[in-house]
Amino acid sequence: MFTLGVPSTRALATPAANFFSNARSPCSVRRMTVIIRPTVTGNPRRRVSANGASFHPNGVGKVEFKSSNSSRASSPGFVKRALDLQSKIRALGVPAVISYGLLNTLYYVIAFLVAYWSYTTVAGGAPPQGLRAQYGQALLVLSVVWAGSQVTKLLRMSAALALSPACARLLRKVQSALRLKSQGQAAAIVTALCFMLALTVFSASVVIKSLPV
């Protein structure tokens, strides 16, 4: 058994001042050590320890508070990496942007087809009847696909940087074949084709699935 004496205001002021002066940011807690002097009763040679607090035979105790590295979630690193890749894509210009758009179109088309046509099997029950009900289900699946796209975002951005030279050659071929005046016009045509492909796949899937069996 032991009892803790209440430390004086001066005893608490010093470690508190050291803590706030050594902190790197207002929200980052590295390590704080509070030295307290409890009144020990019983065996004076016995060392008492409990829940991160240790008390030596001389009556001096130490309590440590340590921050966990898990507080630094991967989210800030993810955002920093995404912004870095985004700046690189912008620096490479139109070919890298179109390359990223093509990869996005490929991802959304494949992911939507797989998720939409397997939705009834996974969820169970009879599929909703009617065109309006199927459009509602398709929008729900599309929102899930969008959420899943955040997982592969860094991979797609990295792949876009690697494929930007090939996309530049593709734009030159489109510009030459259609006799366009600039690379921007070729990029606009490729972008329109990507939107048309995605919209066609979305609408055709909904219409086909809404047909009575």
Q: pLDDT per residue over 160-200, tens digit each?
A: 999 999 999 999 999 999 999 999 999 999 999 999 999 99
What's the order of all strands across the beta sheet hosting 31-36? 31-36, 61-66, 53-55, 48-50
* pLDDT for res 176: 94
Q: What are phi and psi of 36, to 5 degrees?
A: -125, 155
Whole-structure pTM value: 0.60
The per-residue pLDDT for range 131-170, each reduced to its tens digit, is: 888 888 899 999 999 998 988 899 999 999 999 999 999 9
For tokens 């002097």, name the residue: 37
Give the model's pLDDT for residue 151: 87
Is pLDDT of 71 > 60?
no
